[in-house]
Amino acid sequence: MKLYVSSLGVQLLPILFVSYATAFSGRYTANLASHTLFRQTSGRSRKIQPVYSYLQKENTKYHNDKEITEKDSLLRFSKDVKHVLHELRGSPVDLTLPKLFRNTNRLSYSNTWALEDWERHYSRKRYFRYILNFPKSRLLFRILPQMSLLTIWTVLVIWVENMFVKKVHIPLAPLGIVSTFVAFLLTTRSNMGLSRLDEGRKAWSKVVLHTKEMAHLISAFIYPHDKQLALKLGREVSCFAWLLKSQLRFVPEEDIADIVNTMIVDKRDARYILQQRQKPLAVVMRIRQAIHHLGKKGKLSTAEEMALDHTAHSLSEVITSTGRIRASPIPVLYTSHTTRLLTFYLASLPTSLYLSGMDGIVTLLITWAVGFAMLGLDELSHLCEQPFRLMPMYQISKRSMLAVADAFTCRPPPLDEDELDDESHLSQKELTTYWNSDDATKLSDDVME
pLDDT in tens, 347-402: 999 988 888 888 889 999 999 999 999 999 999 999 999 999 888 999 999 999 99
- Its sign, for the CA torsion 122, 125, 131, 136, is negative
Separation CA 38–CA 241 (nearest Å) = 21
Give the integer Cα–Cα distance in Å for 231 and 227.
6
CA 242 vs. chain centroid, Å, equals 13
Q: Do the domain assignments include residue 1?
A: no
pLDDT at 325: 93
Residue 195 in domain: yes
Q: What is the DSSP string of 366-407?
A: HHHHHHHHHHHHHHHHHHHHSGGGTS-HHHHHHHHHHHHHHH
Q: Measured on CA atoms in the order 283, 289, 291, 297, is the torsion positive or negative?
A: negative
Are residues 150 and 346 in contact, defined by beta-carbon separation less than 8 angstroms?
yes
Question: 394 lies in a domain?
Answer: yes
Where does 84-143 have alpha helices with state H?
115-121, 126-132, 138-142
* In the chain, % of residues over pLDDT 90: 52
What pLDDT score was predicted for residue 96? Answer: 83
Q: Is residue 238 part of a domain?
A: yes
| Domain assignment present for 227 | yes
Q: Where are the alpha helices (DSSP H) in 264-331?
A: 267-274, 279-296, 302-327
Q: What is the mean pLDDT of residues 224-239?
A: 94
Confidence of residue 413 (pLDDT cuts 50, 70, 90): confident
pLDDT exceeds cutoff 80 at 437: no
Range of the domain at 82: 34-136+167-329+386-443
- Whether residue 289 is contained in a domain is answered as yes
Q: Are the beta carbons of 77 and 408 closer than 8 angstroms?
A: yes
Q: Which of 202, 139, 204, 98 is nearest to 377 (CA)?
A: 139
Which has the minimum average pLDDT: 18-22, 281-285, 293-297, 404-408? Answer: 18-22
User: What 8-state DSSP symbol labels residue 72?
Assistant: -
Question: How sure is the predictor about 243, in pLDDT bands with cuts at 50, 70 and 90?
Answer: very high
Task: Print burial letters for 163-200: b (CB count within 10 Å at least 16), e (below 16).
Answer: eebeeeebeeeebeebbeebeebbeebbebbeebbeeb
Q: Using CB atoms within 10 A of its CB, is residue 378 exposed (0-12), middle (13-18) or buried (19+)?
A: buried
**DSSP string computed for 42-57:** HHHHHHTHHHHHHHHH
**pLDDT surpasses 50 at 4:** no
Integer Cα distance of 185 and 397 in angstroms: 36
Position 412 pLDDT exceeds 70: yes
d(C-alpha 177, C-alpha 173), whole Å: 6
For residue 167, pLDDT beyond 90: no
Q: Examine residue 381 and state whether it is found in any structural domain, yes or no.
A: no
Close Cβ partners of 360 (under 8 Å, ≥ 6 residues apart): 158, 162, 354
Is the model's pLDDT at 58 over the cut of 60?
no
pLDDT for position 161 = 84
Alpha-carbon gap, residue 110 to 131, rounded angstroms = 22
Nearest to 112 by CA among 204, 44, 36, 38: 204
Please check the confidence at residue 139 and state whether its pLDDT lies above 60.
yes
Q: Is residue 54 part of a domain?
A: yes
- Kindly give the interhelix angle for 227-238 and 173-217, rounded to the nearest 10 degrees: 170
Report how many domains make up the chain. Answer: 1
Q: For residue 247, which of 82, 87, 397 has the smallest C-alpha distance? A: 397
Q: What is the C-alpha R_g of the chain?
A: 28
